[in-house]
Chain A
Amino acid sequence: MKKNLLINIDDVSGIKADKESHAKEIWRRLRKNKTAMAGMLILGIFVLVALFADVIAPYETAVAQDSSMRLQPPSAEHFFGTDRLGRDVFARVVQGARVSLSIGLFTSLGSLIIAVIFGSLAGYYGGKTETLILRIVDVFMCIPSILLSLAVVAALGPNMINLLIAMMISAVPGKIRLIHSVILSVGDQEYVDAARVYGCSDARIIFKYILPNALGVIIVDTTMGIAGTILGAASLSFIGMGIQPPAPEWGSMLSEASEFLRRAPYLLVFPGVSILLSAMSCNLLGDGIRDAFDPKLKD
């Protein structure tokens, strides 16, 4: 004991936390949420498909062209049919899962982490830090995000990593603004003052007091952004600045397919449904995580 305290604890013994650990409790609550579990299952399947893409449908099958088999409807041979170059759509969707999921998940999470750092700095410390960060954000927000990503890719060269960086840079400014405003409103609460009075460090206050109470907004914004980034990457690919053909990617498959909307609607359906399902599963899971973290919705 490091300080002469006013209370005597000698007569209290054998008391342990009667609570399961936080992570366990949250997991237990999440497990009870059926829609969240459905989301998790779907997302899990997509992730597995992406991981084992080469086993399910090797990359070669996804890029192999066969002009005699152009625009075939789904059949036993080609589950999802073939595209205008006679490539197997199933293999392309499977291989595309790798690229598209990475773009969707990594840009969302990556931009979230960057935004949390700068948004928190701006919102929590205020003053000059805030002015500096927000003015830089303003500059970035003046430029249309597609133009911004385009500039980044053009400067760095078109490849997967640079695409991720470009997508992140265009997503970050908006998120910084969001997190900044959330931090401002939660930071006004008296429990933050209380934490300061008993000597919590700034980092502890931000991560234990402010961000958990802003979780709802942050999760909704992140999961909503996933589908958006997949499509955003598609538009870059479309103008040749993203994933280089013939590499498969859901977004560019979608834009290619729009030409054949009447003749071969299945071309649109499969990548479209994949984007929809993966985005939806993220939303469902995100909502579930948000609820599991919220003690008000306990039991």
Chain B
Amino acid sequence: MPDIILETQNLKKYFKTRRGMLHAVDGVNLRIERGKTLGIVGESGCGKSTLGRTIVHLYEPTAGKILFNGTDISQLKKKEQKRLHTDMQMIFQDPFSSLNPRMSVQELILEPMLVNDIYDTREQVYAASAKLMDIVGLAKRLASAYPHELDGGRRQRIGIARALSVGPTFIVCDEPVSALDVSIQAQILNLLMDLQDEMGLTYMFITHDLSVVKHISNEIAVMYMGQVVEKAASDELFAHPLHPYTQALIAAIPTPDIDDGGFSDLEPIKGEVVSPVNPAPGCRFAVRCPYASSGCTDQELTLKEVRQKHYVACPYIETEEENDNTKV
């Protein structure tokens, strides 16, 4: 049995808007194995951030369960949540707005430890903050610096140290490298992977960048308009993308390679994502899908396993046993 640290069961988060119910996260089932990284990839508005925020309790789920180490944490009372704050942490996208500009680097890292009463004495807290700065690669002299004096990469290192300070086992990384330059992005990705190796952390890595998600994840879930449309091991997904949306997404990446013919010959997928307000039943990608037919919209779709540990929500893709020639 795999050791599952976090599981979502039919998780839903709806927001009331003037135009109707926005189905930001709509029935997501995911499992994350301890010590591994699950990548959540999708375009803006697909609900990936809402999913992450619902899991760390920034939003109340509308329906569904979140099992953390086997217990449902979606309905906990305020008091019972206390422990969760130290087991589950989040690293935010924007290193410019996720740090309180009025606090110095040291205060920022100390704060979660003080709030959660992690250590008995002040000395221990200071020692821990010094150690954390060392771990994430921040020079000691920066302890009294303020965020605005630092560059994006260093700020993101503070965000990481802050998340680690309470000793979490599970971290939701919400686009942690999207705001960074590519050379800095690589430094941070390496740091995150080293920390995972050393501390046995589990990541849920949310991003729109497919090359980043492939690099860091063991397993990847592709989201489209609030739903997971495909889920598979990282290599498997890129080697055999099955859902038409995943295929379009991968085809649209401009790889830094001049001999792949560019995407000049390839017609990019038409249309754009609309926000899922009162969505029609069935496949939400159908309006943009080149293969869509009535079979896509007259039934609710669920993820089904079509290859070993490769799940797709598309009526036209058959399981290997049924038909070896999976479509497209």
Contacts and interface: CB of A to CB of B under 8 A. Distances in A.
A16 B123 contact: yes
Interface string A200-229: 110010001100110000000000000000
A194 interface: yes
B209 to A, nearest CB: 19
B199 A6 contact: yes
Contacts of A13: 127
Contact of A190 (B97, B144, B146, B164): B97
A193 B199 CA distance: 25
Given A17-B106, A199-B82, A194 B199 contact: no
A137 to B, nearest CB: 24
A198 B89 CA distance: 7
Contacts of A209: 100
B51 interface: no
A15 interface: yes
A9 interface: yes
Contact of B93 (A15, A190, A213): A190
A18 interface: yes
Contact of A17 (B90, B126, B135, B200): B126
Given A199-B112, A295-B148, A9 B127 contact: yes
Contacts of B131: 7-9, 11-12
Contacts of B120: 1-2
Nearest to A192: B100
B99 interface: yes
Contacts of B89: 197-198
B117 interface: yes
Contacts of B58: 193, 196-197
Interface residues of A, number: 39
B104 A15 contact: no
A55 interface: no
B181 to A, nearest CB: 20
Nearest to B148: A296
A213 B115 contact: no
A7 B167 contact: yes
B309 to A, nearest CB: 29
Nearest to B82: A199
Contact of A4 (B144, B162, B167): B167
Given A2-B118, A190-B93, A7 B128 contact: yes
A220 B68 CA distance: 47
Interface string A285-298: 00000000111101
B112 to A, nearest CB: 4
Contacts of A193: 53, 58, 90, 92, 98
A199 B167 contact: no
A128 interface: no
A201 B81 CA distance: 12
A189 interface: yes
B151 to A, nearest CB: 15
Nearest to B119: A1
Interface string B112-152: 10011111100110111011100100000001101010000
A193 to B, nearest CB: 6
B263 to A, nearest CB: 34
B97 A189 contact: yes
B111 interface: yes
Given A197-B89, A213-B100, A19 B118 contact: no
A182 B126 CA distance: 33
Contact of B167 (A3, A190, A196, A208): A3
B102 interface: yes
Contacts of A208: 100
Interface in B39-77: 53, 56-58
Interface in B140-178: 143-144, 146, 148, 159, 162, 164, 166-167
Interface string A1-43: 1111111110111011111000000000000000000000000
Contact of A6 (B106, B144, B167): B167
Contact of A194 (B88, B90, B102, B200): B90
B268 interface: no
The 6 closest A-B CB pairs, nearest first, are: A199-B85, A198-B112, A5-B167, A190-B98, A295-B146, A12-B127
Interface of A: 1-9, 11-13, 15-19, 189-191, 193-201, 204, 208-209, 212-213, 293-296, 298
Given A196-B58, A199-B115, 16 more contacts: A1-B124, A2-B118, A2-B119, A3-B118, A16-B123, A16-B126, A194-B162, A195-B100, A197-B85, A197-B90, A198-B111, A198-B112, A199-B81, A199-B86, A294-B102, A296-B146
